[in-house]
């Protein structure tokens, strides 16, 4: 017994010594190695570019604010010509001094839209200027253009970009690899080696002291499978919700600003709603306007969040609204599918959905109401006896679909299809339950449809057009439109799996892409015909999805709006995926491969959550949106409350930030009196000095306008950029 005890003790000591030796090696610094930190400027969704013209040098002048050692530069380029990729000559010199870096790159080595590392050891001295010159022969790449104010806070140098000898006033998508003082250890190189050694050490000691049988029995006694069956689904939904919320906050608040023209209008209306001006999106600016281009419900949600949070910024409020809507979507999926909800929730990892969630757009609430409508309609169709409350809920969800997007009116077309099916059933069976369903659906559709038509009538009276703007056909290139449709459908297929379209398939000519889509859709049709039955939840979701695809495509060919892309099709793709998952589940349940897939999905979500919490912006407490707002504050600093800005070049994304300000124009027919009449709601008229000087030099404006500009220039302060003229 004593001998056995001594052997175990010796074995434990050996294990500890070996573990200590390995840990010492892992803690040892690698020779001549220093940790490198990437500093990348945030590239937003705004499409502004700085082009490297053929054989014309693009100069990036960097003035170092501190001593810094660089291990290289990071370049983000787009629009590389595919006809003749050519080369890019990159030259780094100290201004009026030595050459520090001189390389010629083949454009084939640069992947458009991805950061490319240009290696090179360089030391920047504080106060010195360095010039990075890029000369492209055939490729003509574009840099993404960035605001220099934000670049200065991110990088250890200020940046001025010269194109054809002119300062472009913007930075470019150029990052750096900063060599730090921290030595790199073997533990840093071999990721997770330290915790792995600790776990293996504990396991080895347990095996020595307790024996293999006891250790195995202990591990087997842990009721992992019971925990998974009981709480795995709910835990997955919770972790996915946290991941999506943190992703929205990180991507759309800390790292970028996702505001389109539509987004700005939604938020401008929301701010006016919160301020008590109702449908008047220019109410705070003093004008009688009517919000009709889009339905009102989404701005109402943002306004409600502004009020509930005690006056939160409209953009932040819109992100909180999206998070709340995602919670409701997950709740509906859980209520409908219970323990299978986790796999349906994977529909929210679609790349298209994530983009919708980052932007301030109405598609996310639209998808919530479509989901609710589909679930309730499926219940009504599927069950024999349906209580009145379900028809009420169906009507409210249908109305909600319409009040988030006008195209949501299509849900009653789908209900009409099922009503026709019920009519055929009634003719065969003459059952009273079927008759009651027909009456219930008809009354629900009539009331909800009547309210929707009434909404259009109010818009017509207040705005002059039922949907705010003329949506009649303007000129469209039908070939390009069709190609956009093909590319969009192709993108939807791969977005489902959180993948970009593979380069091989993306490189197909459009006729081959059509062939690829035909094969995919033929397979889906075969599978649905084989597995789908009438009066099932899956049939309703698929009918809703296919109807949306077809109706929207037809509408787009007969009226002009944005071309086909993920924003339009993602709501239908969401519904289609739910239907297809329901058809696939019977073939998946109980299979080991399905269990492995569930474990892999859980691991990916958990790692994604950990990755987001480890991001630099969240750790540093930085917010790109705060920097953008600071830029807006500077831009609006000279503009008084309730002003009209003539020939405004203010960031369109800021229109909700100062809803008391509108943009205006002065043409040759304008007089001072006509301006006062047109801009009756504004108290001040603002014009940039440089614009005013140009207008006076042209000499084509009315005398009253010229005198106003002359007086404004005479009275304006030398430091200001605007002339400000009282209108009343």
Burial 31-70 (b: 16+ CB within 10 A, else e): eeeeebeeebbbbbebeebbbbeeeebbbbbbebeeebeb
pLDDT of residue 223: 83
- pLDDT confidence of residue 46: 62
| Selection from 724, 713, 650, 714 nearest residue 684 by Cα | 724
- Is 70 exceeded by the pLDDT of residue 543? yes
Q: Is the pLDDT of residue 271 over 80?
A: yes
Q: What is the mean pLDDT of the chain?
A: 89
pLDDT at 427 over 80: yes
Calculate the CA 420 to chain-centre distance.
Answer: 40
Q: Name the more confident of 718 and 651.
A: 651
pLDDT digits (tens, 9 = 90+) for 459-475: 999 988 888 887 665 56
Q: What CA–CA distances, in Å, run from 670 to 53, 617, 677?
A: 41, 49, 11
Domain 34-183 classification at class level? mainly beta
Burial label for 628, CB within 10 Å (0-12, 13-18, 19+), is buried
How far, in Å, CA of 521 to CA of 455, rounded? 38
Mean pLDDT of 63-77: 88
Please say if the pLDDT value at position 439 is more than 60.
yes
Mind listing the pLDDT tens digit for each residue in 630-670?
Answer: 889 988 999 999 999 999 989 889 999 999 999 999 998 88
Please tell me which residue, 225 or 361, carries the higher pLDDT value.
361
pLDDT digits (tens, 9 = 90+) for 595-623: 899 999 999 999 999 998 886 666 666 78
pLDDT, tens digit (0-9, with 9 covering 90-100), for 381-415: 998 888 999 999 999 999 999 999 999 999 999 99
Query: In this model, does residue 83 exceed pLDDT 80?
Result: no
**pLDDT the model gives residue 459:** 94
pLDDT band at 489 (very low <50, low <70, confident <90, very high): very high
Q: Is the pLDDT of residue 84 over 70?
A: no
Residue 158 has a pLDDT of 85
Please tell me the predicted confidence (pLDDT) of residue 720: 83
Name the residue among 544, 532, 553 with its Cα closest to residue 572: 544
pLDDT value for 487: 92
**pLDDT band at 724; cut points 50, 70, 90:** very high
Residue 493's pLDDT is: 94
d(C-alpha 66, C-alpha 478), whole Å = 55
What does the pLDDT read at residue 82? 53
- What's the pLDDT tens digit per position in 291-346? 999 999 999 999 999 999 998 899 999 999 999 999 999 999 999 999 999 999 99
Per-domain residue ranges of the chain: 2-32+185-221, 34-183, 257-589, 637-726
Among 479-488, 500-509, 541-550, the range of highest mean pLDDT = 541-550
Say if residues 323 and 240 touch (Cβ distance below 8 Å): no
**Of residues 616 and 516, more confidently modeled:** 516
Lowest model confidence (mean pLDDT) among 8-22, 261-275, 318-332? 8-22
What's the pTM value of the predicted model, to 2 decimals?
0.89
Cα–Cα nearest to 250, from 608, 635, 562, 541: 608
Interatomic CA distance for residues 215 and 75, integer angstroms: 53
pLDDT at 213: 87
Q: What is the pLDDT of residue 85?
A: 64
Instruction: Quote the pLDDT of residue 621.
Output: 62
The bridge status of strand 662-664 relative to strand 643-646 is parallel
Q: What mean pLDDT do residues 534-546 have?
A: 94
Average pLDDT over residues 704-720: 85
Residue 573: predicted pLDDT: 96
Q: Backbone phi, then psi, for 273, in 5-degree steps?
A: -60, -45
Q: Would the pLDDT of 479 be above 90?
A: no
Res 644: pLDDT = 96
Query: Judging by DSSP bridges, how do beta strands 643-646 and 684-688 pair with one another?
Result: parallel
- What pLDDT is recorded for position 149? 61
* pLDDT at residue 718 is higher than 60: yes
């Amino acid at each position: 017994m004593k001998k056995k005890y001594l052997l175990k003790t010796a074995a434990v000591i050996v294990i500890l010594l070996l573990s200590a030796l390995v840990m010492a090696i892992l803690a040892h610094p690698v020779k001549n190695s220093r940790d490198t930190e990437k500093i990348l400027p945030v590239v937003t969704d705004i499409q502004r570019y700085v082009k490297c013209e053929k054989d014309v040098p693009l100069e990036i002048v960097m003035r170092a604010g501190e001593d810094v050692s660089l291990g290289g530069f990071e370049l983000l380029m787009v629009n590389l010509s595919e006809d003749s990729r050519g080369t890019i000559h990159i030259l780094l010199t100290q201004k009026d001094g030595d050459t520090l870096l001189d390389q010629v790159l083949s454009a084939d080595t640069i992947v458009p839209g991805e950061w490319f590392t240009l290696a090179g050891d360089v030391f920047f001295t504080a106060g010195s200027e360095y010039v990075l010159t890029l000369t492209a022969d055939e490729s003509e790449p574009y840099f993404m253009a960035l605001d220099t104010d934000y670049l200065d806070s991110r990088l250890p140098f200020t940046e001025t970009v010269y194109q054809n000898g002119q300062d472009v006033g913007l930075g470019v998508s150029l990052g750096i690899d900063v060599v730090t003082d921290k030595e790199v250890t073997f533990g840093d190189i071999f990721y997770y080696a330290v915790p792995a050694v600790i776990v293996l050490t504990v396991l080895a000691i347990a095996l020595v002291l307790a024996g293999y049988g006891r250790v195995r029995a202990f591990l087997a006694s842990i009721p992992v499978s019971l925990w998974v069956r009981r709480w795995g689904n709910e835990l997955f939904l919770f972790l996915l919700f946290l991941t999506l919320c943190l992703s929205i906050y990180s991507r759309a608040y800390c790292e970028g600003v996702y505001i389109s023209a539509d987004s700005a209008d939604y938020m401008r209306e929301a701010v006016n709603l919160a301020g008590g001006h109702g449908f008047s999106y220019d109410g705070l600016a003093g004008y009688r306007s009517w919000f009709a281009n889009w339905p009102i419900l989404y701005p109402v949600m943002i306004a409600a969040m502004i009020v509930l949070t005690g006056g939160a910024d409209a953009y932040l409020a819109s992100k909180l609204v999206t998070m709340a809507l995602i919670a409701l979507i997950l709740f509906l999926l859980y209520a409908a599918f219970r323990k299978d909800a986790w796999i349906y929730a994977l529909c929210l990892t679609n790349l298209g959905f994530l983009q919708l969630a980052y932007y301030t757009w109405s598609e996310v609430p639209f998808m919530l109401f479509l989901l609710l409508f589909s679930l309730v309609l499926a219940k009504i169709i599927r069950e024999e006896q349906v209580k009145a409350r379900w028809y009420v809920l169906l009507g409210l969800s249908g109305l909600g679909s319409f009040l988030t997007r006008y195209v949501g009116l299509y849900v009653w077309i789908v209900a009409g299809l099922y009503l026709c099916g019920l009519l055929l059933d009634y003719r065969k069976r003459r059952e009273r339950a079927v008759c009651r369903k027909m009456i219930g659906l008809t009354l629900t559709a009539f009331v909800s449809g009547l309210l929707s038509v009434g909404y259009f009538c109010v818009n017509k009276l207040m705005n002059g057009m039922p949907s705010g703007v003329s949506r009649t056909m303007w000129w469209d290139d039908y070939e390009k439109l069709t190609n956009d449709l093909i590319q969009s459908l192709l993108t939807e297929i791969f977005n489902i799996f959180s993948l970009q379209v593979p380069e091989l398939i993306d490189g197909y000519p459009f006729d081959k892409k059509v062939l690829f889509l035909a094969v995919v859709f033929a397979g889906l049709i075969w599978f649905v015909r084989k597995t789908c039955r009438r009066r099932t939840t899956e049939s309703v979701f698929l009918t809703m999805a296919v109807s949306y695809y077809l109706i929207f495509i037809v509408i787009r060919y007969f009226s002009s709006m944005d071309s086909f892309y993920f924003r339009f099709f993602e709501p239908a793709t969401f519904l289609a995926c739910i239907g297809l998952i329901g058809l696939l589940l019977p073939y998946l349940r109980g299979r080991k491969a399905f269990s492995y897939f569930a474990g892999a999905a859980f691991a990916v979500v958990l790692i994604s959550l950990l990755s987001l919490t480890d991001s630099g912006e969240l750790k540093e407490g930085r917010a790109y949106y705060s920097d953008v707002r600071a830029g807006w504050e500077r831009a609006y600093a000279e503009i008084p409350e309730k002003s009209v800005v003539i020939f405004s070049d203010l960031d369109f994304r800021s229109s909700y930030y100062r809803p008391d300000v509108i943009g205006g124009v002065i043409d040759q027919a304008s007089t001072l009196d006509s301006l006062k009449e047109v801009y009756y709601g504004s108290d001040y008229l603002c014009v940039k000095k440089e614009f005013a000087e140009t207008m006076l030099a042209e000499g084509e404006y009315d005398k009253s306008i010229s005198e106003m500009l002359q007086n404004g220039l005479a009275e304006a302060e030398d430091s200001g950029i605007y002339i400000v003229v009282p209108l009343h």
